[in-house]
Structure 1
């Protein structure tokens, strides 16, 4: 199985547990790696046979931008569910981070994998 990736998708959203975080929009960063069979799309040269990563990105930008989760963990689970169910992705590795959320650190976040492990596909 091949992999398609999206790196550094930055979206403004309301996220956090503190009162001040509930009143502002903060930047989150998504990095996705998804299992896909690119051979069909390569053979046909048709978007109909490919994972439409532009449509996927637009869907995630809309969802995350409108969300108001307390935890990065919850956001990650919901994003992974959208990717798998709406875009028929059998496996996804997703990193969600909040740049600047922790003083002294460049970034903090979670990495999750959902679906069948790539080796099993």
Structure 2
């Protein structure tokens, strides 16, 4: 199966970073997700109950990162991937976690991971 559900450019305001000043302010993280999902059933039924609920996934991403307050993007990505796979039964996902403005010369820095089997 090569079907996917996508969420791109999801903004999350949370505490993130290793420096003391970063632990005292919210900063923006951007999340991109590609999640393996069999879209044939909702494609045939046209019923939202058969689909991966991207609103619920998005809300879970926000809640997870806000509760976690990661120091490292790598930690945030790993914890988030595990949480999403467990909560929604997602067999495979590709997750990109970006931190805009972390390096002045770059638009953003980040990490990309893939977890599970397609």
Compute the TM-score of the two structures, normalised by the length of structure 1: 0.93
1:64 aligns with 2:65: yes
Determine the C-alpha separation between the residues in 2 that align with 1:90 and 1:31: 17
What is the aligned partner in structure 1 of residue 113 from structure 2? 112
Number of aligned residue pairs: give it.
Answer: 117
Q: Report Cα offsets for 1:17-63 as digits up to 9, x if no partner.
A: 10010111100000000100000011111122110111110111122
What is the aligned partner in structure 2 of residue 42 from structure 1? 43
Determine the C-alpha separation between the residues in 2 that align with 1:82 and 1:17: 23
What is the aligned partner in structure 2 of residue 86 from structure 1? 87
What secondary structure is seen at the aligned counterpart in 1 of 2:100? coil
Determine the C-alpha separation between the residues in 2 that align with 1:54 and 1:68: 21
CA RMSD of superposed structures (Å) = 0.9
Q: Which shows bigger deviation, 65-74 or 26-35?
A: 65-74
What secondary structure is seen at the aligned counterpart in 2 of 1:31? strand
Q: Report Cα offsets for 1:47-85 as digits up to 9, x if no partner.
A: 221101111101111221232111000000011111111
What is the aligned partner in structure 2 of residue 4 from structure 1? 5
| Runs of at least 5 residues in structure 1 that lack an aligned partner in the other structure | none
Compute the TM-score of the two structures, normalised by the length of structure 2: 0.95
